[in-house]
Structure 1
């Protein structure tokens, strides 16, 4: 069968293997036919050789962590043949740490977790894959064209879950949220914010392309000015760019008793002249919270599946700016300026 692979740590080792072995039974009872995988910045960093880890004893790593497939067989009875399914990306560490022991593997404390298509587990960019019932999330049939968005949606479902938990520290009724960045994570964060009845503002540098229209179609407000030039103080900021200046400006902009959730990952290596003392003073005196959030556990995947099923499906489809057949796999991993979400399709 076909599989898209890299040799981790080796730049430009991306290739389509035509005779990859069938998935081993040890991977899970549920056998799945791949329909598509979404591609994100993580995949592009792995193909650039920046990181990635093959399964033990192997040189190559099958890519793909944003999965969508159709069940071929499930002897466990968890799902039925023909059901749509996505595979949870992260698996708990073998020790396990206190969080992994209670299925909060997204909060792993010792770093020994594994991740499909990223760290120590084969990914979903192959014609067939297997998954354990515990890590298989069934999808509403309406999501057949867009179900590969479940993984990024699970990331923002976790972010909103933790924002709500932090908010219970006091009487807290947020009204306004600022989302920085209108990539897939930012747009999905905005979608979930709209579903929560909040007044949503999205900030991005793009003035052309689909991003402004996608934001406005949600009923949200689109901004292109710097964060510090906005004329309001949001109750919540979900930062999705990882750009250092945007991160710092977001921390300074949030209103009293506000919450800033950082989901973007900075590349590092850049020094900024910044008044850290003033930021500290504001955070302390205004009871603000800044926290980071990455990955998701099964509860968040299920919340994300519900949110996507309730969304306008034409809007979700519009997020997918390119659909590329697996035969043209290299095009899918090549970045284009106006890309939002690129999907590699296996059904072609």
Structure 2
């Protein structure tokens, strides 16, 4: 069968090649791939920045944002042939640490977790893949190809859960939320914010193209420019860019008692004469909290599935701006100004 593979830590090594059929030891459920979403993590792995092949192997099958159709449910009693499923990405560490032992593998303490398409387990960019029944998430078939959005939605489902958990440390009635960045994660964070009934604002550098239109179609407000120029203090900020200056600006902008949730991983260098003690004093005196959120456990996958099922299909469809064939996977890894979510499509949904 065909698969898109890469030699981790080796730039330019990605290729479409023939590999053996998935071994039953990889999971009882056999799945036909429908689509795989492409994100910045995939691009960085292809660029050789990180990634780990399975033990004893030189190459890693890429892709962690999956969508497939069950060919053989194997030992699963919850799935049947034809069901649409998405594969959970992370696996608990083998020790396991206390968090992994109770199913909170997204909060793994010792770093020995593994991840499909990223760390020591083959991903989903192959014509067929296998998965353990416990890690196969059934999705609403009416979503069609849009089921591929489930994995990125889990990221923001967890982020919102973290925000609420922190906010409820005291009496808290948030009304306004600011999302920094209008990429797939930012737009999905905005969607979940609107589903919570909040006044949602999104800020991004794009002043044209699909992003402003998508934000406004949600009933949210779109901004360009700087956070300092917004003219209000958000109760919640979900930061989705990973850009140093943007992160710095969020700390000065959030309302007293507010929560900032960092989901973006990036860089931005040294920010001017920013003094850590002054920043800390600002956070302390205003009872603010800055919390990081990454990955998701099974609870967040369920919440993400519910959120997508409630969402307007025509709006979700606009998030997928381009579909590429497996043979053209290199095009999928090259982002344009008009792109939001690009997918590699293996079959019709």
Check whether TM > 0.5. yes
Number of corresponding residues: 347
Q: CA deviation at 1:78?
A: 2.1
Aligned position for 1:201: 201
Partner of 1:55 in structure 2? Answer: 54
* Structure 1 counterpart of 2:63: 64
Give, in angstroms, the shift of residue 269 of structure 1.
4.6
Deviation track 1:7-48 (CA, whole Å, cap 9, x = no partner) reads 00000111000x211111111111100000000000000000
Q: Which residue of 2 aligns with 1:74?
A: 73
Equivalent residue number for residue 295 of structure 2: 295
Q: Quick check: 205-214 or 139-148, which moved more?
A: 139-148
Structure 1 residue 112: Cα displacement: 0.5
**Counterparts of 1:8 and 1:338, CA distance in 2:** 29
Name the CA distance, whole Å, in 2 between partners of 1:312 and 1:280. 41
Structure 2 Cα separation of the partners of residues 312 and 250 of structure 1: 30
- Which runs of 5 or more residues in structure 2 are unaligned? none
- Check the 8 A contact 2:65/2:149 in 1, yes or no: yes
1:33 is aligned to 32
Q: Which structure 1 residue ranges, 5 or more long, are not aligned?
A: none
| Structure 2 equivalent of residue 109 of structure 1 | 109
Alpha-carbon deviation of 1:335?
2.1
- What is the SS of the residue equivalent to 1:146? helix
Could you tell me which residue of structure 2 aligns to residue 308 of structure 1?
308
Partner in structure 1 of residue 6 of structure 2:
6
Which residue matches 1:250? 250
CA distance in 1, matches of 2:303, 2:272: 38
Asked if structure 1 preserves the Cα contact closer than 8 Å seen for 2:245 and 2:271, the reply is no
SS of 2:318's equivalent in the other structure is: helix
Provide the alpha-carbon RMSD of the alignment: 1.0
Name the structure 2 match of 1:154: 154
Instruction: Please state whether the residue corresponding to 2:145 is helix, strand or coil.
Output: coil
Aligned pairs for 1:255-294 within 5 A = 255-267=255-267, 269-294=269-294
Superposition map of 1:231-242 within 5 A: 231-242=231-242
Q: Distance in 2 between the 1:191 and 1:328 partners?
A: 31
Tell me the secondary structure at the aligned position of residue 305 of structure 1.
helix
Q: What is the CA distance between 1:271 and its match in structure 2? A: 4.9
SS of the aligned residue for 2:94 comes to coil
> Once the 2 structures are TM-superposed, how far is the Cα of residue 98 of structure 1 from its aligned partner?
0.6
Q: What aligned pairs does 1:58-207 form with structure 2 within 5 A after superposition?
A: 58-75=57-74, 76-207=76-207
Q: CA deviation at 1:251?
A: 1.2
The alpha-carbon deviation at position 268 of structure 1 amounts to: 5.9
Question: Which segment is superposed worse, 189-198 or 282-291?
Answer: 282-291
The alignment partner of 1:110 has SS state of: coil
1:177-218 per-position Cα deviation (integer Å, ceiling 9, x unaligned): 000000000000000000000000000000111000000000
- CA distance in 2 between counterparts of 1:81 and 1:190 reads 34
Q: Could you tell me whether the CA contact under 8 Å between 2:34 and 2:345 is conserved in 1?
A: yes
- Matches of 1:129 and 1:269 in 2, distance apart? 40
Q: Which moved more, 1:263-272 or 1:78-87?
A: 263-272
State the alpha-carbon separation in 2 of the partners of residues 330 and 280 from structure 1.
44
Contact 2:4 2:61 in 1 (8 A): yes
Deviates more, 1:169-178 or 1:321-330: 321-330
Deviation (angstroms), 1:290: 0.2
Single out whichever of 278-287 and 88-97 deviates more from structure 2: 278-287
Q: Residue 322 of structure 2: SS of its match in structure 1?
A: strand
